[in-house]
Structure 1
């Protein structure tokens, strides 16, 4: 009887160990998902703060709702940022791109990459200006900016139907 009791205990121990391992895997998966969602929530909060800064005390637009403002002003840019955030576009949400977009939001004018670079008080070395041009082209690809003439960029709302 003793050997069968030991076998039964070993079987229960193995079964319990298996359940513990499965629960640990579930906890690890849930922890990973929680971290991912907390990061997304943090980005949403940052974007909302940026939009509030750009729009001042005006009402915050709802994501996916086009804001009809002519001239590519702050409300247009805020809508584009909300759309980019909704699509989880990490590039557009980065601080460097935020500064570029903010410059266009406050200016509303068409600018060349060298002007944007100078406006951000970074400098005007040729290699940096070329890097800025690449960033502006990425924003054109995403429908936030438009290249109205070769090398001349301004806010574009085509991605939201403005």
Structure 2
């Protein structure tokens, strides 16, 4: 009886191990897809933020008007993207940034010199995979565009001189 019970349990364990391996593979695929979607959303938000809103004759400061999405559809839409990484301004604290960006700034600020994306990814808890490193690089470039970081040499990131001077002041 023990042999029969052992054989049954062994068969169930093997079946569960196969299912666990399949789920692990699916998890990797879904995490990768999620990462790409996050990057796509951020890129789309940046592009939408740069798009002119409204009609060309609209005076500045007036609320945005609907713009045609396509001359073929006749549908209207409002550009309502949010700017998750604001442009750095005097006395602005990094607390206004999303957590991932704050983590990146902490690593760059604490580094003894310029850092690369592939050095930052593991320090913020991401695997050193190409897709993750590219996601970090995208965030680094966004922080450069918005004045939080400098990239004097391509691929090497340092805290922005203005941000460093501002954040080192005591209140």
TM-score scaled by length of structure 1: 0.41
Give the number of the structure whose alpha-carbon radius of gyration is greater: 1
Larger RCO (alpha carbons 8 Å, 6+ apart): 1
TM-score scaled by length of structure 2: 0.39
> Hey, which of these two has a bigger chunk of helix by percent?
1
